Amino acid sequence: MAKSIDVSDLDIYYGDFKAVEGVNLTIRARAVTAFIGPSGCGKSTVLRSLNRMHEVIPGARVEGKIMVDGQSLYDPSVDPVAVRRQIGMVFQRPNPFPTMSIFDNVLAGNKLNSKKMSKSDAEAIVERSLRHANLWDEVKDRLNKPGMSLSGGQQQRLCIARAIAVEPQVLLMDEPCSALDPISTSAIEDLIHELKSDYTIVIVTHNMQQAARVSEYTGFFNLRATGEPGRLVEFNETKKMFSNPDREATEAYISGRFG
Ligand SMILES: Nc1ncnc2c1ncn2[C@@H]1O[C@H](COP(=O)(O)OP(=O)(O)OP(=O)(O)O)[C@@H](O)[C@H]1O
């Protein structure tokens, strides 16, 4: 089941440094939400706070509230490892486990979660996840070859297969195409379109055309000045954001007048 996420009054710190201030937004289930904005405005920081990846950095902490389908993500009773299984992350650079086969890479998350499974269950999960990631036809005859033997675009789809093999409800993507060529980028964008019928997707991208192509909602983050915390300047439907944004600063950024 895809989930919605409600963020209120979110401040995020690295030690004493307040990196992000006062973020309020709702991420809809079964839709793609894009985060855009200039470098250093806190897009990745906010993204990482959505599955508690942020807190693995020493000194990093969050204030405010993040509710996932009505449950507080930062409640002391919530297990961060379980959160990261429900809310998966795909990173900028494809990061398959270098010593593992394609088959084992897909199952890596399931094994970490120490689910015992039969060979036939494992095969079914691998096939389903690779099909879902639009990679099955390209790799089905070489599942025992190393994950690293694939092209960059295939490796990124392998990482997406690994993320969805544990059946998360939300997929967070931090610039998933920035290390890929245009053809692989287009394959990932097609995949994002297909995945949104099952998942809630949040994508950080520097590419505004990509945000316009793949998302239904867009958040524009910005900094008032260097050293100030990042803020969410505007959150809107993507169509409106790119045609008639509410804020002057959004218009300036989208039209290339800064950033
Ligand atoms: N691990 C960290 N420790 C300390 N400060 C950090 C850390 N990661 C990010 N920051 C700081 O937090 C602020 C927001 O960074 P973040 O990476 O979230 O921005 P971003 O909008 O995703 O940038 P980019 O588009 O360049 O990736 C920046 O000032 C950055 O230097």
pTM recorded for the entire structure: 0.94
119 found inside a domain? no
| 181: three-class secondary structure by DSSP | coil
This complex has an ipTM of: 0.97
45 found inside a domain? yes
Which atom of ligand 1 is closest in space to residue 48's alpha carbon?
Answer: 18
Contact 44, 174 (CB under 8 A): yes
Q: Hey, whose CA ends up nearest to atom 3 of ligand 1? A: 14
Contact 190, 174 (CB under 8 A): no
Q: Hey, whose CA ends up nearest to atom 8 of ligand 1? A: 45
Q: Per-residue pLDDT for the chain (259 aa), expressed as one digit of tens each?
A: 678 999 999 999 999 999 999 999 999 999 999 999 999 999 999 999 999 999 899 999 999 999 998 899 999 999 998 899 899 999 999 999 999 999 999 999 888 766 678 999 999 999 999 999 999 999 999 999 999 999 999 999 999 999 999 999 999 999 999 988 898 899 899 999 999 999 999 999 999 999 999 999 999 999 989 889 999 999 999 999 999 999 999 999 999 877 6
Residue 29 has what pLDDT?
95
Q: Hey, whose CA ends up nearest to atom 28 of ligand 1? A: 40
The CATH number of residue 61's host domain is: 3.40.50.300
Q: Is the CB of 54 under 6 A from ligand 1?
A: no
Q: Which residues contact 228 (CB under 8 A, 6 or more apart)?
A: none
Q: Is the CB of 19 under 6 A from ligand 1?
A: yes
13 found inside a domain? yes
Q: Hey, whose CA ends up nearest to atom 1 of ligand 1? A: 57
41 found inside a domain? yes
Measuring CA to CA, which residue among 168, 209, 167, 207 is closest to residue 50? 168
Residue 182's domain comprises 5-93+169-254
Query: For strand 217-223 and strand 230-237, is the pairing parallel, antiparallel, or unpaired?
Result: antiparallel
